[in-house]
Amino acid sequence: MKKLFKILGILLIIVVLFAAGGYIYLQAAYPKVSAAPELKIEPTHERLERGKYLANSYAFCIECHSSKDITKFSMPVVPGTEGKGGDNYGEGAGFVPASNITGDKETGLGNWTDGEIFRAITSGVDKEGKFLAPMMPYPLFAKMDKEDLYSIIAYIKTLKPISNKVPEKNLKFPVNLIFRTIPSDVSSFGKRPDGTDKIKLGEYNGVACKFCHSPSDKGEYIPGKEFSGGVEFPMPDGTIIRSSNITPDKETGIGNMTRELFMAKFKSCIDDSALDPKSRGFNTPMAWNFIAKSSTDDDLLAIYEYLMSQNPVNNKVEKITLKGLK
């Protein structure tokens, strides 16, 4: 018996040593990302327009990096807070506030080079090379066209500088270790579709839709379940909202939703007076207002075509669990 305990004790020590060694290794070896590229982005008129469009619509930069009015349906951005950051995106992983991405020199990106901003958005490390949590969806942005990314950078540099010191993130174990292994150099970027193929255009613009509407396991979408919904979003009042099934399944998805109805659902959320959550019976993280007021009809319709081209997945989603009922 004594001997057994001794063996177990030794085994335990070995396990602890391995764990400690692994911890030190991960801390020292990651993130593995190259130096920021030398880059000087000319803020041409075309780039500023395109960057403004993307950052305020399908790239969602301004949606995450601003204050939100939680008293209104679909929580629109509070005017005048664009880029100031501070909202927490950590959910189960800890506390991960969105950074201040305005040009403020002390608390924002005022002292970052274009190359450093580009590297942050696509490879997932900050100015000093420290890892960013993937709540900042840099793996998705790494699939965009470089020229679109340059446009976004040119535009965010024109945001009004706001002094707002965002606190440090605080991640739980083991995600604090896992997240530092995700940043990586990007070997090839995406290509912006020319718009003749609507489905391709919808796919390119719809990455964030996929992000919220697809169940995932350990950071990977579950194959065959893309767009089938059910992803949980805790609301500020404790209610849980789940993303809808937006595959063309007729019974549980949007297979019976005409393009007119799809457009109308978005358009009905443009006007401020239509954003009373009480009249709608719930509030939602779905960016109805954000997308509706910025997107062109062409781009939104392309997303509809793209969604309709997906495989229908039968998955009935319970939209709301009220606070206290689980």
- Give min distance, CB of 24 to ligand HEC, in A: 21
Chain contacts with ligand HEC (rule: CB under 6 A) = 55, 59-61, 64-65, 89, 96, 98-99, 101, 109, 117, 120-121, 126, 132-133, 135-137, 141, 152, 156, 169, 206, 208-209, 212-213, 233, 241, 243-244, 246, 254, 284-287, 291, 303, 319
For ligand HEC, which is the closer residue by CB, 30 or 141?
141
Q: Which is nearer to ligand HEC, 129 or 191 (CB)?
A: 129
Q: How does 219-239 read in b/e, with b if 16+ C-beta sit within 10 Å?
A: eeeeeebbbbbbbeeebeeeb
The rounded distance, in Å, linking the Cα atoms of 251 and 269 is 25
User: Nearest CA to 115 among 126, 103, 101, 99?
Assistant: 126
Instruction: Say if residue 244 is exposed, middle or buried (CB neighbours under 10 Å; 0-12, 13-18, 19+).
Output: buried
- CB 45 → ligand HEC: shortest distance, Å? 20
CB of 2 to ligand HEC, least distance (A): 49
Name which of 6 and 250 has its Cβ closer to ligand HEC: 250
Residue count (the chain)? 326
Shorter beta-carbon distance to ligand HEC: residue 19 or 268: 268
Report the nearest approach of ligand HEC to the CB of residue 3 (Å): 49
The least CB distance from residue 6 to ligand HEC, in Å, is 44
Render the burial of 102-134: b for 16+ CB within 10 Å, e for the rest.
Answer: bbbeebbbeebbbbbbbbbbbbbbbeebebbbb
Nearer to ligand HEC, 132 or 201 (CB): 132
Whole-angstrom distance, CA of residue 91 vs CA of residue 227: 21
Q: Which is nearer to ligand HEC, 6 or 165 (CB)?
A: 165
Kindly state the smallest distance separating residue 162's Cβ from ligand HEC, in Å.
13
Distances (CA, A) of 66 to 102, 140, 233, 269, 299: 10, 20, 18, 19, 24
On whether the CB atoms of residues 203 and 304 are closer than 8 A, the answer is no
Contact (Cβ atoms closer than 8 angstroms) between residue 107 and residue 90: no
For ligand HEC, give the closer residue by CB, 12 or 63. 63
Q: Who contacts 290 (Cβ-Cβ below 8 Å, separation ≥6)?
A: 56, 57, 60, 62, 63, 74, 76, 77
Min. distance of Cβ 189 from ligand HEC in angstroms?
13
Nearest distance in Å: CB 257, ligand HEC: 7
Q: Which is nearer to ligand HEC, 191 or 265 (CB)?
A: 265
Q: Please name the amino acid found at residue 168.
A: E
